[in-house]
Amino acid sequence: MITFIDLFCGIGGFRLALEKRGLQCVFSSDIDPSAQEIYKHNFNEKPHGDIIEIPSKKIPKHDILCAGFPCQPFSISGKHGGVSDPRGRLFYEIQRIAEYHKTPILILENVKNILAIDGGKVIKTMENKLDKIGYDLFKHVLNASYFGIPQARERVYFVALRKDMKTKNKPSYEPPDENRKKIYLDDILEEKVDNDFIIKRKDIKITKKEDDIEYNLKPIRVGTVNKGGQGERIYSPKGHAITQSAFGGGVGARTGLYNTQQGIRRLTINECKMVMGFPVNHKVSAGLQGYRQLGNAVVPDMIGYVFDSIRAL
């Protein structure tokens, strides 16, 4: 059986994707206590804690190392600290474990902005480090909107393959083909939600009528609240959700605002699960913590498509 480890595991997006394909998780780790409890609820296994404190020899042998390593040091909404940020340096823990175990395959995910930080020096450092310990690195920006997920979520997916992997054919990876599945917010929105999600303000401005809008695989902006800043833009359910985020300001923070039959509103936690591609019965923490967990998560379907496109095992 093909085995994998789940680093910075969060609420388990990698694990959902790979267990669905018959792979076995042999180790998981996350420093966040709330994420650990949620992961335990979903997978009957409490992740180990801070990966920095776990010796490589204590981690089981595995075929695939999965890591959606912390994105805040690289994100546009963060401070752009890159690998100078302590969280950004967690990439070196991935390097450490891969070098010790000579892990055949690494599957990593991060925000698109990691490619541009410090004039490209951050990504060049990653490439050089992985090359030095024996890996070919492939990286591609993929947008979940074009893979059957009703959310505009651009992420960089990294696949690193060991150069000395013993297989009949040379290991290779090509990014998955877009399926352009016609799924929209309309398809997943709940018909009736609690009034707490509905925004009733005098400064709401709708600039496009829903009858004049055609369905599209992207967010369709139709209005604003207040000055129309981040978290103050309104979108049509005939398009896709904006990128779900762990943080952010404005009345529509984390989920965005949408012009639904019930009125202008934010997304519920179950709707956020669906626009991230998680099952509705997948447990997350209550309140804002649950929204943060989903905003920090990987899209399971995207990990599945990436795995399916590796020709190595």
Q: How far is CA 155 from CA 5, 110, 147, 225, in A?
A: 21, 6, 13, 28
Q: Which of 9, 25, 66, 71 is catalytic?
A: 71
The amino acid sitting at 141 is V
Range list of β-strands (E), the chain: 3-7, 24-29, 64-67, 105-111, 135-143, 154-162, 172-173, 204-206, 221-225, 233-235, 257-260, 263-265, 310-311
Q: How far is CA 191 from CA 159, 262, 265, 270, 271, in A?
A: 40, 8, 12, 12, 11
Helical pair 91-101 and 121-132, crossing angle rounded to 10 deg? 10
Helical pair 33-43 and 288-296, crossing angle rounded to 10 deg? 80
Q: Is 66 a catalytic residue?
A: no
Q: Which are the catalytic amino acids?
A: 71
